[in-house]
Structure 1
Amino acid sequence: MFRISQFMRDLANAERTGAYPAASHRKPPGPVVIWNLIRRCNLTCKHCYALSADHDYAGELSTDEVFTVMDDLKAFHVPVLILSGGEPLMRPDIHAIAERAKAMRFYVGLSTNGTLVDDAEADRIAALGLDYVGISLDGLRDTHDKFRRLDGAFDRSLAAVRLLHARGVKVGLRFTMTALNAHDLPALLQLMRDEQVDKFYFSHLNYAGRGNIHRGKDAQHLATRDALDMLYARAWAAAQEGRDEDYVTGNNDADGPYLLQWVATHLPALHARFGDAMAEHLRAWGGNASGVNVANIDNLGNVHPDTMWWHHTLGNVRERPFSALWTDLSDPLLAGLKQHPRPVQGRCAGCRHLAICNGNTRVRAQQVTGNPWAEDPGCYLTDEEIGVAGGDMRVVTTPFSARQTLAQIPVVEAS
């Protein structure tokens, strides 16, 4: 996750005080764990990485098994649990799981589509004291309902935002941009402000589940840059005005280098004074964290480098503890993800910003080329901007084909 607002606040504070804060290279004690506790969902969204549907899935972890895993996660110093699905509110024990997680002093987030949140459910969520609830909106009413394949989904999700906000719950909007909904981004940002929503999470499309099937409709690079320009300008204005709004992005770590470039273009005087310090902060952030500071456990207990790697399993928590799986570098993908620098190839290997983006999102490279270390086709920076020689053909994001041949993941030496 790239926290735009934090960088903008630091810059705005430096403008006022004349001093940019020192970068901290302290790493979190353990990975953030995104936990898909249930695969069932009342929606069938076009970009769902879990390919969820409204029926039960056999073999999901029991309540006791979830609690056992939580004990291991706590001992392994995992700081954050994001409870997700499917639709997590369809799991009967979700409140008991969330309550125990809070009692164990995890930071606990809930990722929901919001359609099941009525007054009673909003009361229950508020009583749990969750740190954050993210609700997905893919656009305004018509666009969102088409993405979610349910008439009325937008109205129900927006109602959930209002119900939770009224109870003092920190709420964020989650938006995944494709070529089919990019036009609604300005209106959603205005909706965020009108509804006094705390956070806006902008997700680039990643190629997993239905998101991979529909990757041919991914937003093109120029549209991506336009969207980031809008987000950066809004976050900068909010930082200058002292607004309590958070803007973050995910699933494309080129956003870090692009922020530095945006500041150089739009705030040249500040870039001249503080650009080097901001670049050091960006290197401390470290870019893509899959397999390092972000982990995933699915509904069956399988562990993955992140939520987009469901087609690559590191093991199952019923057989080995998460802590053992996460530190076992016999898996070549996990070893490569943890290696620093990563063994990326192509234009990523020669990129001047590799220390900032960490090779960007490896799953897009793997899904398109079969090679997880190839260039990320989702990188929207030009060859000139990243400092590599031009003239070579870029990897092109082709429409999904089920008849793919995936290359064997090469073994790399872990540093």
Structure 2
Amino acid sequence: MKLSYMSGFGNEMESEALPDALPKGQNSPQNCAYGLYAEQISGTAFTAPRATNARSWLYRMRPSVRHTAHFSPVSYPNWLSPPSTGDHDLPIGQFRWNPVPLPSTKTTFLNGVKTMTTAGDVRSQSGMASHTYAFNDSMTDDYFFNADGEMLIVPEQGRLEIQTELGILEVEPGEISILPRGIMFKMGCVDGAARGYICENYGARFTLPERGPIGANGLANPRDFLSPVAAYEEKDTPCSVQVKWGGKFYQTDIGHSPLDVVAWHGNFAPVKYDLRLFCAVGAILFDHPDPSIFTVLTAPSNEPGTANVDFAIFPARWMVAENTFRPPWYHRNIMSEFMGLIYGQYDAKEEGFVPGGMSLHNMMLPHGPDAEGFLKATTADLTPQKLENTLAFMFETRLPQQITAFAANLETLQPDYIDCWSGLEKRFDGTKEGKK
């Protein structure tokens, strides 16, 4: 099947896989075309303001209540939700990991998700969790939906084929996908194996940040977010549906595929976005703005201007500021930063932070360029320079990110990460006249 998409983030859209499957002028006619059932899925409260109200109408072969039966518990011990972390003795600190190894035996997406950090509380619908995934076997007769939160998926290696209720997304490294809370899907790997990152957001839905003084243009544009056209799967054979609910997992067996939506309309839908279309902005004289200018998506909290979770990227871009230390400055702040590298090098840490790797700098713990990065930046010829072939990202939250037992005991944890700053010796000389 040829993949096709519709443009727009949060826009009202409509799609049908069969002609005239969508009713005209109303949402729930007495009898739908083709013998379909009308069903609404709501991503916000019914009474949410029009600007933030999210819902879609689905026209499907069976109502989704038929896609659930008697649930029984299942276990994914390495996929955790806050406040759970598992037991470990690792104290606070700055942490960095090399990539999680690809599996050597058949592993599906659900078995391949490993939680690195948790923040907040899934039961109060606040906070987030950062995961890594690595799998090599596509889901065939198994389906999944996450009732706890939406999932932001960031591939690092291998293309994904995500078959959802509303259609099919193919997502490659350099792109991201957002799977809304409650949307059923199955995950396939196109290239034999896949690895990447997930931000599981339990708070307010991801949206585009306000541009403020930037104005009407720049950063991520809504039209570059793509939703799938309707594509149904008619399969009347044994299947299973698994759900994550309240931090636990359950499974039910049914006799058909739940991906049976023939038509849909609304603004609550999975999307994908090409990060290479992000229009970065920056300084054109001296110093550089705060890294918030690299925010692609934000999930706001009840405190204005402070996110439950932000998703920011550090893409290829020009560096032109004069008399300026160009890498990120040394800093401490109230946000907790989980970073990953999709490809290339990160300019503040050219060694040790590799594609597929991860780092965590928690709230108020200092961090910044390593000693080599500092030396390079303070001796560089400050001509215009373009950073190319680089794409790093950050899941940033106002909450402390707690390390899980899996992350604490992961064999790729770099025990000597703190040493990357050991070469930052005292440079002060009070006998020298200050530069004016």
TM-score (norm 1): 0.25
Larger gyration radius, structure 1 or structure 2? 2
Structure of higher RCO (CA pairs closer than 8 Å, 6+ residues apart): 2
